Amino acid sequence: MKDFLKRIKADFLASSILCIVLGLIFIICNDGVINLMGSVFAVILIIIGAVYVGSFFLNFITNGMSVLMGVIILAVGIWFLVQPAVIVSLIPIVIGVVLLFHGFRAIKETIEAKKCGYDAWGANLILAIISLICGFICVFDAFGVMEKATIVVGIILIYNGVSNIWISSSATRAAKDYARRNATVDVNFVEDDDDK
């Protein structure tokens, strides 16, 4: 259970805060932000990919899916850094893939929270499904998203970050409540000599 809580706190919190920050940058600096953000985004992807891959090799993560995602993110980051013009057309697609990954992961975390007895899991499921829908929109209508402006991408990123933090904190609370409810009490029986 502690591994579950640590995984939620570290992965979700870091990526959610990154999404919120990127979303704010997209909204505030929407004129010309794509070119500047392209290079920054490439570096961030390289760092995230390297962290995932490094975590696997340092045995922090034993999940093969995480290392695969890390290699993909690392490769995409390097490609964006080498060819920044590609970023303009691909940023919504990459963001969409990240949103899809977060959405599927949020669904998994919601299911875990439900198993731990979290009553409001339905709201978390709705938030996760909305993240999936936003991810599909970014992936399958990338040019439409770019035409509508970077503000849409910023709003989607902020929503994703906030919903991930909400789901993560809900799942963490549910797991703690579950552990508290199911905790065993260890006692030692001592016979009292006064009864003799």
Residues 35-83 pLDDT 10s: 776 788 788 888 988 888 887 777 765 566 777 888 888 898 888 888 8
Note the pLDDT tens digit of each residue in 74-96. Answer: 898 888 888 876 766 777 788 88
pTM of the predicted protein model: 0.50
Q: CA separation (Å) from 44 to 28, 47, 111, 117?
A: 19, 5, 30, 36
